[in-house]
Structure 1
Amino acid sequence: MTITLIIILCLLILVAYAFDLSSKHTKIPTVIIMLIMGFSIHQGINFFEIKIPNLDLMLPVIGTIGLILIVLEAGLDLELNKNKKKVITSSFFSALIPLVFLLLIFGFAINYFTNQGVMISLLNAVPFCIISSAIAIPSVQNLSSSKKEFVVYESSMSDIFGVILFNFFLTNETIGVGSFFTFFIQILIMLVISLVASLGLSLLIKKIDHHVKFIPIMVMIILVYALAKIYHLPALLFILIFGLFLNNLDELKGFRFIKKLNPEKLNLEVREFAKLIAEVSFLVRTLFFILFGYTITSDVLLNSETLPFAFGIIAVIILARVIQLKVLKIELAPLLFVAPRGLVTIMLFISIPLSKSINFINSSLIIQVIILSAVVMMLGLMFNKTKAEKTL
């Protein structure tokens, strides 16, 4: 049985990799293939009555590690300089404004239909408002460099803003001066921790000459994230800052302490580190979505009670995206369709405590929204006509 499971796991990863390679031609998001594979495995296991241990407990662990790696990978890919000022500004507002807009709409709707409190309604609305960088970034690899860059910045910022807002609503019972003050202090504390930890970890990358050096660094990154989460700090902010710090050493050469890190030598190490992060991120992301697909049942997927609401949520998301792109004067196609929900949506949903959960916001609705948003993106990318690249 052990060897059989190893063979199956290896084949699944190789199939996912093959689809990842071919996605630039087929324009089918790899996440859909992985969900189908996981779902099919579950159906096969049920059909042949094979006994498998409960895997549900692994989902939050793999998902958390996946989220850390995805944001770190994005940070290691983002450049902060004057040439990027326009795309960073447009991405910032493109991530923040629709997030707040959708949060207010979905929060009001949940409050109206369920009669729950405002904070609980907003908490349950956040997962639907965040663009998944785990799905968006791999799906736009065949777009023009400017559009791909925009999606990387936008989806990464959407992840960060969404998680920060989720933590705010999770840790506060009411909205007031006190809650905003506490929130502001938490951000400042996390910024200080992020800068200190980034300098310390960068120094370790430079100093360690052992043949095993990047895995301990990755473990320390996850450890800092976990410790920050214990104290309800916006831990994902550290991951992004660390990635940005490493990828933009050349922009920081004017600072004396940066010169001591020997940026020229450190940049070579960072390139190798970024390659490892990309490899591990792919593996963890693949395992997560296959496992998530495995947990999906036919009853949950085809729940007719939640399906109309799932379509309604997708319609509102697309409408908000049309307004957003028009206001920012960005070409609609194909970015209009690149607003998938995915890993962060799942992670935030399963992080909602039972005392603050709403029966209406269930796994059926979450899964249907994720799949529908991925299908919309797939169709939008498939039928998008190739046009000359435009500067955003």
Structure 2
Amino acid sequence: MTTALTIALCILMLLAYIFDITSSKTKIPSVILLLVLGFVVKEISLAFGWNMPHLVPILPVLGTVGLILIVLEGALELELNKEKLPFIVKSMLIALLPMLVLSFSLAAAFSYWGNVDFKNALGNAIPFSVISSAIAIPSARNLSTVNKEFVTYESSFSDIFGVVFFNFVTENDHIGTGTWGHFAGQMLLILAISFVATLALAYFLNNIKHHIKFAPIILIIVLIYFVSKIYHLPALIFILLFGLFLENVDELKHIKFFRKFRPLDFSKEVNKFKELTAEFAFLIRASFFILFGYLLEREEILDGSSIMWAGGITVAIFIIRAIVLKLFKLPLNPLLYVAPRGLITILLFLSIPVTQQIPLASKSMLIQVIILSSLVMMFGLMKTKTNKESPGTAPETAV
């Protein structure tokens, strides 16, 4: 049985790799193929009567580690300088505003038609309002440089804002002045931790001479994230800041303190670290979606009672997104289509406390929104030119 499982895992990962490298040609998001692959594996195992281990507890762990690595991978691709500050602020606002509008609108609908408390309805609505960087970033790989950078910033900020907003709503029974003060304290604390931890990890990365040094750093990053999570700190901010620092330390070389990092030598180590992070992120992301597909039930995908809600939510996602992109004078094509729901949506949905779950926001609705938003992205990108600087996507136009 062990040999068979090992062979199966190797084959599944190789198929995931094929999906990844062919997605630029087929325009089919690899997440859809991975979900289908996982579902087919389950059907085959049932048909042959194979006894599979209990895999449900593994899903949140894989998802959280995948989220960490994906945000880190995205941050390691982003250049940071004064000229890009307006671009970054704009991507932050475009990540935040649609999320807030959709969350409160959907919460009002859940509260009205589900006859539930608005706060609980809001906690259930937030997962549907967050763009999944796990799907958006790989899918933007063949867009123009500026659009790809925008998608990376926007989806990473969306993940961070979504997690912070979700935790704030679900972990506080009552929201008042004291709650906001506590939240401000948490933000200041995570910024302080991020500053110290980033400098320490960057120093280790640049000075450890042992032939194994990248894996321990990734393990420390994951450890810091989970310890911060115990104390309800927005740890994704640390992940983003750490990645941005590594990628942009050469921008700080005019400051005497940062010359100690030897920016030229440091960049070589960062490039190696980026490659390893990308490899790990691929394995974890592929494993997560295959496992999620394996755990899907046919009834959940085809549930007619939730399809109208899922369709309405998907339409609302892209209408709100179109309005916001127009307000900020960004091109609708191709940015409108890159708003998939996925890994972060699943993680937040699974994190809703039992006492705050509402029947209306079902797993079937979640799955259908993920599939529908990915299909919209797929068909939208199919009609988008793939050359790196196609008309209407030059930096001065797109930002």
* CA shift digits 1:229-285 (9 cap, x unpaired): 000111111111111111110122233332222222222111110110001100100
Cα deviations by residue, 1:35-70 (Å, 9 ceiling, x for unpaired): 000010111111111111111111011111001000
Please state how far the C-alpha of 1:107 moved relative to its aligned partner. 1.4
- Letter of the structure 1 residue corresponding to residue 284 of structure 2: V
Q: Which residue in the other structure is 1:297 paired with?
A: 297
Maintained 8 Å contact 1:340/1:373: yes
Counterpart of 2:124 in structure 1 is 124
Aligned partner of 1:241 in structure 2 is 241
Which residue number in structure 2 is paired with residue 108 of structure 1? 108
1:3 match: 3
Q: Match for residue 148 of structure 2?
A: 148
- For 1:385 and 1:272, how far apart are their aligned partners in 2? 31
**2:352 — aligned with what?**
352
Kept in 2, the 8 Å contact 1:126–1:166? The answer is yes
Structure 2 match to 1:171: 171
The aligned residue for residue 42 of structure 1 is: 42
- Partners in 2 of 1:246 and 1:390 — Cα distance? 27
What is the TM-score normalised by the length of structure 2? 0.96
Q: Give the Cα separation in 1 of the matches to 2:385 and 2:260.
A: 50
Does 2:383 align with 1:390? no
Q: In 1, Cα distance between the equivalents of 2:118 and 2:246?
A: 40
Structure 1 position 180, deviation (Å): 1.0
Report the residue type matching 2:62 in the other structure.
I
1:147 Cα deviation from its structure 2 partner: 1.2
Find the residue that maps to 1:141 and give its secondary structure. Answer: coil
Tell me the alpha carbon deviations over residues 15-45 of structure 1, each in whole angstroms, 9 at most, x when there is no partner: 1111211111111101111000001011111
- Which 10-residue stretch deviates more, 172-181 or 182-191? 172-181
Amino acid at match of 2:59: L
Larger mean CA deviation between 214-223 and 174-183 belongs to 174-183
Distance 1:254 1:230 in 2: 38
Residue by residue over 1:332-351, the C-alpha shift from the partner in whole angstroms, topping out at 9 and shown as x without a partner, is: 11211110000000000111
Which residue does the alignment assign to 1:85? Answer: 85
Instruction: Work out whether residues 106 and 125 of structure 1, in 8 Å CA contact, stay in contact via their aligned partners in 2.
Output: yes
1:210 and 1:112 map into 2 onto residues whose CA distance is 60
Give, in whole Å, the separation in 2 of the partners of 1:30 and 1:196. 37
Quick check: 1:119–1:174 contact (8 Å CA) kept in 2?
no
Cα displacement (A) at 1:10 = 1.0
Query: What is the CA–CA distance in structure 1 between the aligned matches of 2:207 and 2:333, rounded to whole Å?
Result: 47
Correspondence 1:327-338 to 2 at 5 A: 327-338=327-338
Give yes or no for the alignment of 1:367 onto 2:361.
Answer: no
In the aligned structure 1, how far is the partner of 2:227 from the partner of 2:145? 37
CA distance in 2, matches of 1:367, 1:242: 32
The letter of the residue matching 1:109 is A
Report the CA distance between 1:207 and its aligned residue. 2.0
Percent sequence identity over matched residues? 50
Instruction: Tell me by how many angstroms 1:390 deviates.
Output: 3.0
- Structure 2 unaligned spans of 5+: none
C-alpha separation between the residues in 1 aligned to 2:264 and 2:384? 42
Match of 2:201 in 1: 201
3-state SS, counterpart of residue 305 of structure 1 = helix
Structure 2 residue matching 1:333: 3-state secondary structure: helix
Structure 2 residue aligned with 1:76: 76
Distance 1:340 1:200 in 2: 35
The AA in structure 2 aligned to 1:359 is P
Q: Deviations over 1:181-215 (max 9, x none)?
A: 11111000000000000011111112211111011
Q: Which residue of 1 aligns with 2:184?
A: 184
- Quick one: distance in 2 between partners of 1:234 and 1:256? 31
Task: Tell me if the contact between 1:78 and 1:247 (Cα under 8 Å) persists in the aligned partners.
Answer: yes
What code does the residue aligned with 2:53 have? P
Report the AA paired with residue 162 of structure 2. Answer: G
CA 1:385–1:267 in 2, change beyond 3 Å: closer, same or farther?
A: closer
Unaligned runs of 5+ in 1: none
Code of the aligned partner of 1:244:
L
1:85 offset after TM fit, Å? 2.7
Q: Distance in 2 between matches of 1:221 and 1:140?
A: 26
After TM superposition, give the deviation of residue 385 of structure 1 in Å. 5.2
Provide the residue aligned with 1:53 in structure 2: 53
| Deviant stretches of 4+, over 6 Å | none
Report the Cα distance in structure 2 between the residues aligned to 1:69 and 1:179, rounded to whole angstroms. Answer: 30
Distance 2:254 2:59 in 1: 44
Q: Which residue of 2 aligns with 1:269?
A: 269
